[in-house]
Chains A and B, each alone.
Chain A
Amino acid sequence: MERSQEIFEQIEAYIDGDLTGAELEMFQKALTSDPELQREVEKHAEIKSALQDKEVIDFRKKLVKINEALQEEQKSTPKIKPFYTVYWKLAASIVILIGVSTFLYLNTSQQNDMFAMYYTPFPMEDITRGDENTVGDDLKSISRAYKNGNYKEAIPHLEKMMKEAPDNDKLKLYLGNSYINTDNIDGAIQQFENIKKESKYYDDRLWFVALCYLKLEQTQQASQILKTLTSRNSIYNQKARKLLNQLHK
């Protein structure tokens, strides 16, 4: 039903009991024969009752403000002196670099164990729900291949889809993970790093890039990314923290 000012005003008048005589009769008649209109009237009634509740709305407004204030507080605490922190970070990373490379020199194969311990492929969603950017019948077979670990089979299809939808971040994750499993780690990193900071998959990007570096035995890069990740409150938080601890044991 096309929403118009006229219909809105009629519905409001009906709800408020302001319709009389022939107008009321006509409206009631329309109402009995038109279920869509019935639903629309219900919605208007709900809105009225919800928005008349001023106390509750004011309370919610208060919560939103408190939440904003708390976020501000959190944001303003860590950035005290940017000048020093940059140098401090630089110094720290040099120390880590030296430490880690010595460590690496002493034992190399541990990283791969850790990679295996922490890595699970990014799950491919059921494609029945449909992604606007992805089309075609071969979707089902791609998702089957991916889920069954036939990455070699999935890759050419995913690459083709990537060309058609170069901005689809989920595709980048699928393709990157397929590369990881076919030992093309550099290719994987490249895919992941195309996911921009604003994307809701940015946390996923950080996590998988970190694991890639782990696999490449570039521990200091991995741990730096993991540190960023732990400061971001994501679903990877716990895993990232644990992995970091293990890396620096």
Chain B
Amino acid sequence: MNSTGDKTIINGIISGDDAIIKAFYKKYLPQVSNYIVKNSGSISDAEDIFQDAMVFVYQKLKSDSLELNCSLGTYVYAVSRNMWMNKLRKNNRMVNNEDIITISGIDESDLIEDIYAGERRTLYQKYFLKLGESCQELLALFFSGASMREISNKKGYTEAYTRKKKFECKKKLMAMVEKDPAFDELKTPQK
């Protein structure tokens, strides 16, 4: 059940409190790592999945659409586990878990659908952070609605150069995302 400790953590996550998020991360990543390493993954797979799960939970908390019937840690673990099983299934690797645990209060089939729907956006966001500093800055400005002229003035570029650079950054992002094996298998959201 939702304890007062969880409330502090939830508020901390929503408000972006570094210390609280870090403590949560430190406490629950090892559980997720343990599960993923047991199921033919690596530590860095685990970190990846755990971060995706945290982002997923963050979005749910922000939009107030999360009804927790278990502790937040348990929930993040369940999300991570489902994300990893999803990935394994896609790679046709075996899932070595005898235990199909259903955690009380979570309808895991709903969860899987939810996870699936956001995956492609997640990929773009993830790879965006892998672009170089200058690409990130330029695209962030662009998508915040700044005009080419405003961006050029701010960066001291010519407008033509800004345009060209924006194109190159976006193209690079698309190429990186398309290389990810998960990308092809994700359907584009239906309109």
Show the binding face of A for B, using Cβ within 8 Å. Answer: 3-5, 8-9, 39, 42-43, 46-64, 66-67, 69-70, 233-235, 237-238
Contacts and interface: CB of A to CB of B under 8 A. Distances in A.
Contact of B59 (A56, A63, A233): A56
Given A59-B16, A64-B51, A51 B125 contact: yes
A42 B62 CA distance: 26
A62 B141 CA distance: 19
A53 B62 CA distance: 12
Interface of B: 16, 18, 21-22, 25-26, 29, 33, 37-38, 40-43, 47, 51, 54-55, 58-59, 62, 120-122, 124-126, 128-129, 139-140, 143-144, 163-164, 167, 170-171, 173-174, 188-189
Report the 4 A-B pairs with minimum CB-CB distance, sorted nearest first: A50-B124, A5-B167, A50-B121, A51-B143
Nearest to A232: B43
- The main secondary structure of chain A at its interface with chain B is helix
Given A47-B173, A66-B21, A5 B26 contact: no
A54 B140 contact: yes
B22 A60 contact: no
Contacts of B129: 57, 60-61, 64
Given A47-B174, A56-B55, A62 B18 contact: yes
A42 B59 CA distance: 23
Contacts of A48: 143
A48 B170 CA distance: 10
Given A46-B121, A56-B58, A67-B51, A233 B37 contact: yes
B114 to A, nearest CB: 15
Nearest to A6: B167
Contacts of B163: 5, 9
Nearest to A61: B129
A7 to B, nearest CB: 9
22 contacts: A4-B167, A8-B167, A46-B121, A46-B188, A46-B189, A47-B174, A50-B120, A50-B121, A51-B139, A53-B125, A54-B140, A54-B144, A55-B62, A59-B58, A60-B51, A60-B129, A63-B21, A66-B18, A66-B21, A66-B25, A70-B22, A235-B42
Given A56-B59, A70-B25, A47 B124 contact: yes
A237 B46 CA distance: 15
Contacts of A235: 37, 40-42
Contacts of B167: 4-5, 8-9
Contacts of A58: 16
A151 to B, nearest CB: 24
A42 B188 contact: yes
A46 B54 CA distance: 21
Given A5-B167, A63-B21, A46 B26 contact: no
B50 to A, nearest CB: 8
